Structure 1
Amino acid sequence: MKRVAIVGGGVAGVTAAYELAQQARKGVPLQGVLFEASTRLGGIIETVHEGEFVIECGPDAWVTEKPWARELAEELGLADEVMPSNDATRKTYVLIDKKLQAMPDGMRMMVPADLDALDQSELFSAEAKRAYREEPGRAEELRAAAPEGDESVAEFVQRHFGDEVLEKIGAPLLSGVFGGDVTKLSVQAVMAPFVTMEREHGSLIDALRTRSVAASKNSVFTTLRSGMGTLVDRMIAAIPEDWIRLSAEVQFTSCGEEGWLVGTARGVERFDALMMTAPVDVACSLLQPIDAEMAPLMEMDASSAVVVGFGFPDAAKFSIPTGFGFLVPPGSDSLLLAATFVDQKFEHRVPQGGRLMRAFFGGKAAERLMRCGNDETAAVARMELARVLGPLPEPQVTVVRRWPRSLPLYAVGHLERMKKLDSRVRAFKGLWLLGNGYRGVGVPDLVRDARAAAREIAGE
């Protein structure tokens, strides 16, 4: 019987345990033990159901074009729950000079597919619009200038579209997803499809125009009707109860001829394989004594996030613009990173006539709010939303979540560093590194990697 330790019960850890359990059901002789330091599984995926409001405390969806989360949902019997975002009314705003300015229709991140829609936009100056218009004509020059190695997101966007586009769209979009400084973020790690577009077409606008019509018909985001937490709950239900150890913080790991040893306050256990799915900071400290060269490759900055959800019983009491929400560029007067108009982004999120909004804080604002109580944090969030949207009524439901150092920063050179890290990991029999610090931060990426690793362990 092969014994597998899984250290960390976030999305990657739960998925790994679920896949191992599936393999065991097929007759593979293995047993998994999932160690989680806290009292619950799922990491930053958590859904609160209160008064008919469905409030996500972490990610509210996955990117539709990545298939792995959807495949898992369907396998778990959740096909009827899979639900697209309301893209017919998809509009995202940017807070500029204390006013919400709509991003032009047909944008894929900071790249427009429709230059006519761009002309109608009040978001950009005439100079920025001209930079967009001229980009296709610079295709050969851009392709020739594309560096062989990595560069920052800021350098990449500036080369194509200039400073204004970076400041108004590039920085807030990528800070919202990756929580990082665009002058440090690796373009190869966080915008790989755009790097490929540049190498093939030079012009990103030309490349986007050649994409299939079918791809543009899909909704951008997909979620579950009852919330993302259902995905985790269904997986947990399929994992043997005696595999799960809650409130079981791993204090050390070691590797020797006898295999892997994992120590908690309850004692030391031996395993044949170790799936390290803990946050990258924790993973780094646990593996440092095993391989001093591995740890420096795992050291990376990470940003914290604070999420505040407000459920209002009567949407008629205040108005918001039609769309999915707004982004706040760095250096703005607002403490917010972004806000989502949840009931407009997805169906089945509120009681009849209700309204649901989420406020996000990152960077220094999040670090400050980490030290505040829930009431103070909620009051700050409500005040910041009201500064943008006007006075807000008393919410019926308020949910506050803090996610310390939850978004690892993929700095320039990240992919090269991961190659070196992989070669160090391969030197140890039965070791896997999984989670959002390595090969992607989205739920589909975590699902893909965890299932592939579990199948590899089962097939050895």
Structure 2
Amino acid sequence: MKKIAIIGGGISGLTAAYRLHRLGVDCTLFEAGTRLGGIVETHREDGFVIECGPDSWVAEKPWARELAIELGLGDEIIPSNDHNRRTYVLQQGTLVPMPEHMRMIVPQGQAGIDSLLSSSLFSEEAKRAYLQEPTRAAELKEYAIAHAGEDESVAAFVARHFGQEVAEKLAAPLLSGVFGGSIHKLSVHAVMAPFVALEREYGSLIAGLAARQRSGASLFASLRGGLGGLIERMSAALPPASLRLHEAVTALTHTGNGWKVQAGHGQASFDTVLLATPPQQTSALLTSLLPGAAELLPRDSSSAIIIALAFREHFPLPSGFGFLVPEGSSESRLLAATFVDQKFAHRAPDQGRVLRAFFADEDLMDLPDSVLVRLGMNELTNILGHPLPEPAISLVRRWPASLPQYEVGHRERVAALEEQVASLSGLRLLGNAYHGVGLPDLVRQANEAAQWAASM
């Protein structure tokens, strides 16, 4: 009987274990912590559904939805309230709405152009840059072809199309909100691959997006009872004997025809290992096996602190999903905030509110929960312009080094790393350090890794 070890019980490792179980292949899942799912966690209390990590998945990517349906959660899938999809940027003490009908940095159709031209976020010069971008299609396509295969920063890519102002006012807060990193370091090939493909085919991003007009489907999707439902269903499907919680793996040894895994309760032998740990732990486990691996793994990872606040009293909020704070802003220590009950239905009882505030400052990590809650409340009060009532529920989650940074050259480094790993038969890497950070991409990677392990 084939023996497979999965190291790391976050969404990637757990999904791989579930997929192997569905394929009829036994495995052992090692998790250093006391729970499965990693940063995917849902708190349910008194009619509130509060996400402690990600709150949704990108709806156009199918893999998370397919998993939910397979787990019997199809009727639980809910769309984001896109009729109310507005996001703000903090500018000089004011929440300025981003233009509507945008696909990240690119206006969609005439409605997007009209919204852009009426926006107070941009100067007249930036608006002219948008209007001129389709007329520069041949020039932009020629550049893309001449530099095919060369990576560059998100900042350089956006500035080439729409100018530096758009890069700083729009791309920077959007990307820091998703990836927690600087657009001057993030790889455009790794984090905006669809836009790179549009440039290569059409030159103009505006023209390319118009040619590939999306349907009116919602941008995000989630589960009525929260994303924790995925974790709960997969965990329940696995044999209890296969789960080794609170058991950190401290060493991996390649024996030539298999693997020895050193964990809390001794050493065990396996034919195949799926390594689904964060980069720092992956580096430690691979150092003796592949001395060059550490240089190829993501060098930096950003941290996040989530302050979730649930209120029984209804109070006014700007219409929309929430706001972003530009990178390096002196106006607020917040990175972003989400108006949760406006983004999704079924998140609060009648007249209730749920807000989530995000910090990325490492120096806040060790502060007590009560101090972080008060800091989050104060920052929200200052930005929203009115005091908030006392929350009925407040939660703090610290996710240190949870978001690996896909810096320029990321794809090439990952390809080189995976080539090295392939030299050690029976080992595969998966997780958010390699081929995408969102739930659908992590589910896809886990499915592929499980199929690979089952066929070995």
The answer to whether the superposition gives a TM-score over 0.5 is yes
Whether the 8 Å contact between 1:62 and 1:222 is mirrored in structure 2 is yes
CA distance, structure 1, for counterparts of residue 189 and residue 345 of structure 2? 34
Q: Residue 439 of structure 2 corresponds to which residue in structure 1?
A: 443
Shift in Å, 1:459: 2.3
Q: Residue 228 of structure 1 corresponds to which residue in structure 2?
A: 227
Q: Residue 395 of structure 2 corresponds to which residue in structure 1?
A: 399
SS across alignment from 1:139: helix
Q: Residue 27 of structure 1 corresponds to which residue in structure 2?
A: none
Whether the 8 Å contact between 1:284 and 1:299 is mirrored in structure 2 is no
Q: Residue 114 of structure 2 corresponds to which residue in structure 1?
A: 116
Give CA deviations for 1:202-235 in whole Å, capped at 9, x if unaligned.
Answer: 11111111123xx231100000000000011101
CA distance, structure 2, for counterparts of residue 184 and residue 273 of structure 1? 35
Shift in Å, 1:285: 0.7
Give CA deviations for 1:241-263 in whole Å, capped at 9, x if unaligned.
Answer: 10001110111111013510111
Q: Residue 101 of structure 1 corresponds to which residue in structure 2?
A: 96
SS across alignment from 1:254: strand
Give CA deviations for 1:105-149 in whole Å, capped at 9, x if unaligned.
Answer: 111111112211111111111111111111111111111222320
Q: Residue 376 of structure 2 corresponds to which residue in structure 1?
A: 381
CA distance, structure 2, for counterparts of residue 65 and residue 39 of structure 1? 33
CA distance, structure 2, for counterparts of residue 182 and residue 349 of structure 1? 32
Number of residue pairs matched by the alignment: 448
CA distance, structure 2, for counterparts of residue 119 and residue 355 of structure 1? 33
What pairs up with 1:21-32 in 2 under 5 angstroms? 21-24=21-24, 30-32=25-27
Q: Residue 133 of structure 2 corresponds to which residue in structure 1?
A: 135
1:348 aligns with 2:343: no
Shift in Å, 1:299: 4.3
What pairs up with 1:191-210 in 2 under 5 angstroms? 191-210=192-211
CA distance, structure 1, for counterparts of residue 311 and residue 388 of structure 2? 9
CA distance, structure 1, for counterparts of residue 426 and residue 69 of structure 2? 30
SS across alignment from 2:3: strand
CA distance, structure 2, for counterparts of residue 338 and residue 69 of structure 1? 24
SS across alignment from 1:216: coil
CA distance, structure 2, for counterparts of residue 110 and residue 303 of structure 1? 23
Shift in Å, 1:438: 0.4
SS across alignment from 2:407: coil
Please point out which of 49, 54, 58 is paired with 2:53.
Answer: 58
SS across alignment from 1:343: helix
Q: Residue 190 of structure 2 corresponds to which residue in structure 1?
A: 189
Shift in Å, 1:428: 1.2
Q: Residue 84 of structure 2 corresponds to which residue in structure 1?
A: 89
Query: Which one-letter code corresponds to 1:89 in the other structure?
Result: N
TM-score, normalized by length of structure 2?
Answer: 0.97
What pairs up with 1:367-378 in 2 under 5 angstroms? 367-378=362-373
Whether the 8 Å contact between 2:303 and 2:403 is mirrored in structure 1 is yes
Whether the 8 Å contact between 1:62 and 1:221 is mirrored in structure 2 is yes
Q: Residue 418 of structure 1 corresponds to which residue in structure 2?
A: 414
CA distance, structure 1, for counterparts of residue 179 and residue 296 of structure 2? 19
CA distance, structure 1, for counterparts of residue 70 and residue 295 of structure 2? 38
Structure 1: give runs of 5+ residues left out of the alignment: 25-29
CA distance, structure 1, for counterparts of residue 135 and residue 281 of structure 2? 48
CA distance, structure 2, for counterparts of residue 190 and residue 35 of structure 1? 30
SS across alignment from 1:356: strand
SS across alignment from 2:126: helix
Whether the 8 Å contact between 2:182 and 2:327 is mirrored in structure 1 is no
Q: Residue 177 of structure 2 corresponds to which residue in structure 1?
A: 176
CA distance, structure 1, for counterparts of residue 242 and residue 161 of structure 2? 51
